[in-house]
Amino acid sequence: MPEKKAIFKLKNVTKFFDGKDSIVKALDDVSLEVFEGEIFGIIGMSGAGKSTLVRTLNRLESITDGTILFDNQDLALLSPKKLRSTRQQIGMIFQDFNLLTQRKVLDNIMLPMKIAGVRSASERRSRAKEMLNIVGISEKENAYPAQLSGGQKQRVAIARAISVAPKVLLCDEATSALDPKTTGEILSLLRDINEKTKITIIIITHEMEVIEKICNRVAIMNDGKLVEIGNVREIFTNPKTDTAKQLVYRKDNKINPFEMTDKRCVRVVFDGSSASEPIIADLVLTTGEKVSILSANTKSVGGIGFGQMILELPGKHEAAERVMTYLKQKGIFAAEIEGGESYL
């Protein structure tokens, strides 16, 4: 199997801002690699440093210390002219779309090509029409941004960003302003573009649902630090840090299951192969022990169906251990969680 090539390499990246009363460390010794062709997620809550990090990837923000290599080029060492040409290889879309309101859709998409040096107007127009076809809104080429829905505006923004065939597409909270249905459509579009063109996509978000739907790997940030990084399915199944647990164990239910019991609880995760098996029924028959299902849901993580439950274990230690042993023997992920942790 060929070795993966890193399109971005970050080593010990640190960024300070001068605050009103003190110096703020927005990025704290961040090191990671993003590989060509993958969909890579960077997630964290407000103030975690994720948006600052993505702006350093095209040097919209300079760094205080460390190194950022893009396609084996040190961004800090590029001349202004070389930096401008390098930025054309790094497309970007934003939460608020950033379309030019006085220009029609087709003109919005043609503009980056003109800046990139495509002199032929007919070539720019032909390419813009091709991009509109890719994002599925060819009929809107003569509309103005004000005449479009939020989802349509983001499709135009995506078409504009990929019109110059960049190597990387940065998405900074690109679905945060959209409703759930439109968010799903935009994420599916990005996945399709990634599969067809092999463009590397880096998604910045505070929503774990976005990461779960299309990302291959994810970096989790908190207070400027990279606290956990790995395969999305692995982190969904077994988050190790408190920050990762808070993002994965979401409070989707209106009732906190821990308010219903003072007994030991376990989080059980089923993948697509085990979700169809009668695990709980077989557990009761095999061990003779009863468990209560306090919470349960299902979701798609990386295109694979997963189910997760919070089970109340039997009150006696020996009985609870029999249940845990059964789950482990079945190869099902099961981890005890405390009532103070976030819940499903």
pLDDT (tens digit per residue) in 125-174? 999 999 999 999 999 999 999 999 999 999 999 999 999 999 999 999 98
Write out pLDDT tens, residues 93-107.
988 888 999 999 999
pLDDT digits (tens, 9 = 90+) for 162-219: 999 999 999 999 888 889 899 999 999 999 999 999 999 999 999 888 998 899 999 9
pLDDT of residue 338: 67
- pLDDT for the residue 310: 86
249-337 shares the fold of 6-243: no
Residues whose CB is less than 8 angstroms from the CB of residue 319 and which lie 6 or more positions away in sequence, other chains included: 287, 289, 313
User: Any idea which residue has 């990090």 for tokens?
Assistant: 53
Percent of the chain with pLDDT over 70: 92
Per-residue pLDDT for 342 more than 50? no
Q: Render pLDDT for 22-43 as a digit per residue (tens, 0 to 9).
A: 888 999 999 999 999 999 999 9
Specify the 3-state DSSP secondary structure of 255: coil
- Tell me the one-letter amino acid at 298: T
**Mean pLDDT score of the chain, rounded to an integer?**
88
> How many Å apart are CA 164 and CA 87, to the nearest integer?
11
Amino acid in the structure at residue 163: S
Q: For the sheet containing 304-312, what is the strand order? A: 292-301, 304-312, 265-270, 333-337
- For the chain, the structural domain boundaries read 6-243, 249-337
Q: What is the CATH number of domain 249-337?
A: 3.30.70.260
Tell me, what's the pLDDT at 343?
Answer: 45
The yes-or-no verdict on residue 66 having pLDDT over 90 is yes
SS (H, E, C) 173-197: CCCCCCCHHHHHHHHHHHHHHHHHH
> What's the pLDDT score for residue 259?
53
- CATH assignment, 6-243: 3.40.50.300
So what's the pLDDT on residue 143?
A: 95
**Which percentage of the chain shows pLDDT scores above 90?**
57
Question: Which residues in 157-193 are b (16+ Cβ under 10 Å) and which e?
Answer: bbbbbbbbebbbbbbbbbbebbeeebbbbbbebbbeb
| Across 68-72, 226-230, 286-290, least confident range | 286-290
114: Cα separation from own chain's centroid: 31
